[in-house]
Amino acid sequence: MAKCDQGYLCVVCGQEVEEIKDSGLYLRYIIGEVKENELQAQPEHHIRCNPAMAQFIIDNDFEPVLAEGPFDKRELDSAEVSLREKLVTDGWKRLCEVKSKQLAISDFPLKMQ
């Protein structure tokens, strides 16, 4: 495959992030951790390759991930964990719908209340 035909490569496992619903970079963009003008400069990774983030996705369509060590949500404040689970889960659901709705990239982010 030509380099120009290849998508973003995961900085953790080295494999291509083939679908946007698996993109840790775009999940971070949707939840407001990355700005649109930073997307080309930020490293990409599969969501599951970043257990510190993936553990906060709570959805029947996403197999649970455990993060061992200092970032394990079981070791964090339960109120903060609940807030983070809502944000990251809502972001992942949005990530799953952006392709089917053919949204412009500027319309990806969640509307923060």
Q: How far apart are CA 109 and CA 69, in angstroms?
A: 30
Is it the case that residue 113 has pLDDT exceeding 70?
Answer: no
pLDDT at residue 3, as a whole number: 44
- The C-alpha atoms of residue 75 and residue 1 are separated, in whole angstroms, by 43
5 pLDDT above the threshold of 60: no
Which strand (E) or helix (H) includes residue 34? Answer: none
pTM of the model: 0.89
> In the beta sheet, which residues pair with residue 59?
62
